[in-house]
A and B are shown apart, each in its own frame.
With several copies, the nearest count.
Chain A
Amino acid sequence: MTAFKKEELLIAAMARLLRGTRHIAVGVSSPIPASAALLTRRLSGGSTRVSILGDPSNTFWSDGGKELFDCAAQGRVDAFFFSGAQIDGSANINLVGIGDYPQSKVRFGGSYGSAFLYYMIPRIILFRPDHNARVLVPKVDFISAAGTSPPEVWRRGGPHALVTGKGVFSFDRAVGRFTLESVHPGSTMEEIKDATGFSFDVAPDLKETEPPDAETLDLIRGAVGGEIAATYPKFARETLGVAT
């Protein structure tokens, strides 16, 4: 097996979660999600459309910043990525602050579009490379966007999976719980349990996260790397080894 970096594993793992989507949108400051989206487009033979906010060559917006939200509301965005300063076991995310709102102990940027997109886009992938109990908490201090909603609330979208530096979780919206589906090479289930502040289920067929095969690595380091360099030159150069 070819050697691979953790970032390459994450890109490949997220691309598997994106399979079959027609349109993936990626927010700013997201080199790994953007790479996963571009890899998905490559693997789809170009049929998957990718919109990368802030990359003019990969965006078709011509109706202002509202177009992403309108587009998602029309059901035309299939997948998107969120991070979270905190994520809890009900898939609530906190992008606002730690401690009591509003005078939080730590203040982050804000909820951005999450309080809308989480309800509109079918496959939201939560992504947080650093997997620890300060991030993955029993209950978030501020709910920027709720993981689940009562039945009377109109909702098309929601959490699909959580990808961290240690493993991949699926999320069951009916039950409102995460299930650990795979553990990354080098991590263990025990380690994940210790580093996770919320309780979760474990898949009966818990696997090791499938490493990227040689062909996938070639794509990541080649075609995808070349494309991602337009927006993230440093990431392309230093992580994917692209000559920029």
Chain B
Amino acid sequence: MTGWTSVDELVAQIPDGSRLALIRDGCGVAMTATRALLRRGVQGLELVNVPTGGMQTDLLIGAGCVAELETSGVSLGEYGAAGRFADAVQRGAITLKEATCPAIHAGLQATEKGAPFLPLRGILGSDILRFRSDWRVIDNPLTDGAADPIVAIPAIAPDVALFHCPMADDAGNVWVGRERDLVTMAHAAQTTLVTVERRYAGNLYDDATLAAGTLSSFYVTAIAEAAEGCKPLGLPNHYDEDEGHLRAYAEASRSDATFAAYLDQHVMRTEVA
């Protein structure tokens, strides 16, 4: 833990070309930090969606920040298709590593456990496998010769994990609550950057109830305060998503021109509270 910092300083710790792990919608998407990252003009990111993406991924792709994307799916949910994602894939503008949700979880858990891969059932017969030359089909070694093919999912090792949580304490411990995927991401990533709604006065480990939902500062590189840091997405128990904004974004994401206008108006102008 290097300490508490500003959102701009936080995203300065995401080098161009980083393999960047991002959590799915509704579990702590760091949107304020993402806008700061876009303003910085980050380049060549290799995104890992954990395990799916939404507006955040679509924004980064639309702004030309993404070289590669590993995902199980990108959409704007009930607001429709992620237009910049679909456009970039169709134009071949990004390298797409098509996956399925539990494979991304397994890949991160492999890194968490120091294993080169985890075996995963299912998948066989899916075209996903045909296009994932890094995935291997092996024979279950425990069957003593009977055929039992299973897919070996290679470890996914992000350089950086970025997410948003309700609170963190002065020592840098972060309260993730039920969102245990954030723990896996932090364990698997070299650098973990977190924005939070607020500072917690005291040490989260001093309260046995809070400790149960706490990620230790040991795994956290830096933290910045960002009230309403998921908006226009929501943060459970804190605020709902901004439906009007998301509907407008879905519209904007349909073409380069409307996306550029959105980016200029809602991202590139300095964040105002």
Q: Give residues in A with beta carbon < 8 Å to B.
A: 23, 28-29, 49, 54, 56, 60-67, 69-76, 95-97, 101-120, 142-146, 148-149, 152-155
Contacts and interface: CB of A to CB of B under 8 A. Distances in A.
A101 B92 CA distance: 10
Given A110-B52, A116-B122, A143-B126, A29 B114 contact: no
A120 B183 CA distance: 21
A142 B236 CA distance: 35
Contact of A69 (B24, B77, B105, B216): B105
A143 B129 CA distance: 10
B207 interface: no
Contact of B178 (A49, A62, A107): A62
Interface in B138-195: 147-150, 173, 178-184, 187-188
Q: Tell me the interface secondary structure of chain A in the complex.
A: loop
Interface residues of B, number: 70
Interface in B109-156: 109, 111-115, 120-128, 131, 147-150
B135 to A, nearest CB: 11
A104 B125 contact: no
B121 A113 contact: no
A64 B122 contact: no
| Residue among A73, A95, A109 with the highest chain B CB neighbour number at 10 A | A109
Contacts of A28: 77-78
B126 A66 contact: no
Given A66-B105, A70-B187, A110-B71, A76 B218 contact: yes
Contact of A104 (B75, B90, B103, B215): B90
Given A62-B216, A109-B82, A142 B127 contact: yes
| Residue among A106, A117, A119 with the highest chain B CB neighbour number at 10 A | A119
B92 A120 contact: no
Interface string B62-102: 00000000011111011001100110011110001011111
A120 B89 contact: no
B248 interface: no
Given A29-B78, A64-B184, A66-B184, 18 more contacts: A60-B218, A61-B178, A65-B101, A66-B180, A69-B102, A75-B114, A108-B81, A109-B81, A110-B75, A111-B98, A111-B128, A112-B101, A113-B72, A115-B123, A115-B126, A116-B123, A119-B123, A155-B122
